[in-house]
Amino acid sequence: MRRVILTLTLCLAGAAALRAEEAVVVYPFDGSFEDAAFAVESAITNQGLVIDYTSHVGEMLNRTGADVGSDVVLFDEADIYVFCSAAVSRRVMEADPMNIAFCPYGIFVAEREGEVMVGYRTYPDGPMDEVEALLDSVAREATGG
C-alpha cells in the first residue's frame, strides 16, 4: 500500500511540475525592458483594447523581499498589463459564464538575469482558446514574432 501511495504521490508531483511548465507561454524579447513594455502597451492598444491596470510586480517583490525574510532577486523588473476585450469576453462567457474567473487577462514583461521576456498564462481548452489566441497575438506582435 505504501508503494502505491508513493507512486501516486510521485506521479502527481510530476504532473504538477509539467502543468506548471505548460501554464505559461513566454517569448524572448531582443531589447530592453523599457522597449518591451512599450511594445506590449502598443500591441494591446493596436488591438483596440484599453489597459485597465499595470501591476508593478517586480518593484513589489524587490521592495518586500526583506520583509518576508528573503534576499533573492526574482526579477530585475517585471510588470503585468491587465486588460479585457468586451467582444472576446462576451463570447467565452456566453459559452460558459464561469469563464468570468479568468477575466481580466494579462500579459507580463519581465527581465531576469539580463534576459527580457514577454508572456502570458494559459487557460483551459475550449472557449478560452480564443483568449489565448488574443494574448498570443499581442505577445507575438510585441516581440516581433
Lowest mean pLDDT among 2-11, 48-57, 58-67, 111-120: 2-11
CATH number of 24-143: 3.30.310.70
Q: Please write the tens of the pLDDT for every residue from 64-109.
A: 998 999 999 999 999 999 999 999 999 999 999 999 999 999 999 9
Give φ, ψ of 117 to 5 degrees. Answer: -140, 155
pLDDT at 27: 98
Report, as an integer, the average pLDDT of 108-129: 97
Does the model's pTM come out above 0.85?
A: no
pLDDT at 36: 98
Relative to beta strand 50-55, strand 77-84 is: antiparallel
Q: CB 15: neighbour CB atoms within 10 A?
A: 10
Residue 126 in grid coordinates: 475550449
Q: Please write the tens of the pLDDT for every residue from 15-58.
A: 444 444 579 999 999 999 999 999 999 999 999 999 999 999 99
pLDDT reading at 130 higher than 90: yes
Cβ atoms of residues 64 and 74 within 8 Å: no
Kindly give the interhelix angle for 129-143 and 33-46, rounded to the nearest 10 degrees: 130
State how far the Cα of 120 lies from the Cα of 139, in Å rounded to an integer: 8
